[in-house]
Amino acid sequence: MGKPTGFIEYLRELPLDRSAVERIRDWNEFHHHLEQGKLREQAARCMDCGIPFCHTGTLLSGMASGCPVHNLIPEWNDLVYRGLWKEALDRLHKTNNFPDFTGRVCPAPCEGSCVLGINTPPVTIKNLECAIIDRGWAEGWVVPEPPKVRTGKQVAIVGSGPAGLCAATQLNRAGHLVTVFERADRVGGLLMYGIPNMKLDKQKVVLPRVSQMEAEGIKFVTNTEVGASYPAKKLLKEFDAVVLCTGATKPRDLPIEGRSLKGIHFAMEFLAHNTRRLLDGGHNGGFISADGKDVMVIGGGDTGTDCVGTAMRHGCRSLVQAEILPRPPMDRAKDNPWPEWPKIYRLDYGQEEAAAKFGADPRVYLTTARKFIGDDKGWVKEALTVQVQWERNEKGQFVPKEVPGTEQIRPVQLVLLAMGFLGPEQPLLNELGIQCDARTNIKAEFEQYSTSLKGVFAAGDCRRGQSLVVWAFNEGRGAARECDRYLMGHTSLP
């Protein structure tokens, strides 16, 4: 601990974001860094606890508590306080291949379990993580690290999302020849097309990492869907091992009356088309525009927020976000104690922007859509919503029940369904004959990652279900370790 009294002397302080009214005019990132003196003060608040829960990385009540990749948080906080930034970056890279990604998009379960957060605001861990890696890039400390010796073993990674990139990096550094297959036109999966540019800049943050990986010897094959344009059986013949990192890309639908009307889209369709158009310089005309429309986003979570932020930048006329759950409390409830993830009310960036333009948080809680109503050309023009209350059914499970008399007609010309995902797409798994669990995820034990097919491993959302980017990093690293052990009989990967 650099300063034993730091947590007493300094209050939690975050950098100011660009104003909500300003930032909805462009697609640039909106977070800033504190100046170095302030960052040192924030690092000094870390108490180097006897038991630092911030990097435990476990599940409590079904949610992450602590860092899933077990970042050595007290160590690099101490190094930042001492002004040893390069050493801090080295410690950060020990556990996290891509802190530039998590430092921007992770919800920071580490901060939720910070010991200081028991009775005061927690350490600004996420902000410090991002500052360390951004300085690393600026100073030229992040360089390709190709392996000194090659094993001659060839490994295929299917999917270039968070889990796939981590698995590829680790296996390459172990000396294997790694090829990553991606069905989209660009590398990155969720990082490229699922997260908007204002949260994770593609040109400045994602693509430099891809270039680094290529310089280390990793081969990327885009516009190639294994199981379609590239036979899955060919994959098994040409490679010594395969790691499936295809994600959980099957969206949850809302099968109500009027669902087939035009103007109703899944969230990822909306987000991916927008990012592709942005990267193509605005020349791609096939994107879904919210310009001048009354927009309804159905579902909360990060994806719903990203839809809100994107629609705001398009220039929507109005926006409402329907959330079927009740509004969280302002402070931790008694049944949500530390170090569980604090389930409290938050105004995320998208809702903050909508509130700045329209005057209020766009979310309406305990609300769902019952029916969509179309015009004479088959386009959605209205949504019938109704309020719900949660009651126990005969099995003791909580289920939503409509509240009579709460129906409301809302004008909408664009509906975005952001209600989560049901698991991986099945054609590739069926072709390979991979066993799945009851939730249709690939069946592979946690920490083992081996599937029912010898030499084939699975990691990330396709194995565990929809989850956080940082859990995908955890799984990608773990699958790489077990794949290396399978290939070599032993492993030195963490």
Same domain, 271 and 132: no
**Would you call 47 helix, strand, or coil by DSSP?**
coil
Nearest to 350 by CA among 400, 294, 297, 291: 297
Same domain, 112 and 241: no
| Residues in Cβ contact with 50 at an 8 Å cutoff, skipping those fewer than 6 apart | none
The parent domain of residue 456 ranges over 154-249+422-488
Same domain, 265 and 368: yes
Residue 463 has pLDDT above 70, yes or no: yes
pLDDT band at 285 (very low <50, low <70, confident <90, very high): low
Among candidate residues 380, 398, 419, the one where a domain is terminated: 419
Task: Please compute the mean of the pLDDT values over residues 330-358 and round it to a whole number.
Answer: 95
Among candidate residues 419, 450, 477, the one where a domain is terminated: 419
Same domain, 286 and 385: yes
Helix count and strand count (H, E) for the chain: 17, 18
Number of domains within the chain: 3
**Would you call 103 helix, strand, or coil by DSSP?**
helix
Look up the CATH number of the domain holding residue 27: 1.10.1060.10
Same domain, 194 and 206: yes
Same domain, 377 and 267: yes
Report yes or no: 101 and 107 within 8 Å, Cβ to Cβ. no
- Residue 185: count of CB within 10 angstroms of its CB: 12
Same domain, 98 and 32: yes
Pick the range with the lowest mean pLDDT from 118-127, 276-285, 344-353, 463-472: 276-285
Q: Which residue carries 């942005």 as its tokens?
A: 278
Q: Radius of gyration over alpha carbons of the chain, in Å?
A: 23
**Would you call 156 helix, strand, or coil by DSSP?**
strand
Q: Tell which phi-psi region holds residue 258, choosing left (phi > 0), alpha (psi between -120 and 50) or beta.
A: left
| Residues in Cβ contact with 228 at an 8 Å cutoff, skipping those fewer than 6 apart | 183, 427
pLDDT band at 459 (very low <50, low <70, confident <90, very high): very high
Per-residue pLDDT, 80? 97
| Residues in Cβ contact with 470 at an 8 Å cutoff, skipping those fewer than 6 apart | 64, 67, 68, 69, 102, 106, 109
Per-residue pLDDT, 284? 61
- Residue 427: count of CB within 10 angstroms of its CB: 13
Same domain, 411 and 262: yes
Task: Please compute the mean of the pLDDT values over residues 41-68 and round it to a whole number.
Answer: 92
Residue 389 lies in a domain: yes
**Would you call 2 helix, strand, or coil by DSSP?**
coil
Residue 494 lies in a domain: no
pLDDT tens sequence across 2-36? 788 999 999 999 999 999 999 999 999 999 999 99
Per-residue pLDDT, 2? 73
Q: Which residue carries 């995908």 as its tokens?
A: 472
| Residues in Cβ contact with 337 at an 8 Å cutoff, skipping those fewer than 6 apart | none
Among candidate residues 384, 419, 454, the one where a domain is terminated: 419
Q: How far apart are CA 188 and CA 492, in angstroms?
A: 26
What letter would DSSP give residue 117?
G
pLDDT tens sequence across 146-194? 999 999 999 999 999 999 999 999 999 999 999 999 999 999 999 999 9
Task: Please compute the mean of the pLDDT values over residues 458-480 and round it to a whole number.
Answer: 97
pLDDT tens sequence across 91-100? 999 999 999 9
Same domain, 368 and 269: yes
Residue 182 lies in a domain: yes
pLDDT cut 90: percent of the chain above it: 94
Residue 406 lies in a domain: yes
Q: How far apart are CA 82 and CA 41, in angstroms?
A: 10
Report yes or no: 53 and 339 within 8 Å, Cβ to Cβ. yes
Average pLDDT, the chain: 95
Look up the CATH number of the domain holding residue 175: 3.50.50.60
Q: How far apart are CA 288 and CA 308, in angstroms?
A: 14
Residue 397 lies in a domain: yes
Q: How far apart are CA 484 and CA 491, in angstroms?
A: 6
Q: How far apart are CA 309 and CA 349, in angstroms?
A: 7
Per-residue pLDDT, 287? 86
Task: Please compute the mean of the pLDDT values over residues 372-389 and round it to a whole number.
Answer: 98
**Would you call 53 helix, strand, or coil by DSSP?**
helix
Task: Please compute the mean of the pLDDT values over residues 398-418 and round it to a whole number.
Answer: 97
Q: Tell which phi-psi region holds residue 152, choosing left (phi > 0), alpha (psi between -120 and 50) or beta.
A: left
Task: Quote the distance between the C-alpha of residue 352 and its chain's center.
Answer: 20
Report yes or no: 464 and 250 within 8 Å, Cβ to Cβ. no
pLDDT tens sequence across 208-232? 999 999 999 999 999 999 999 999 9
What is this structure's pTM? 0.95
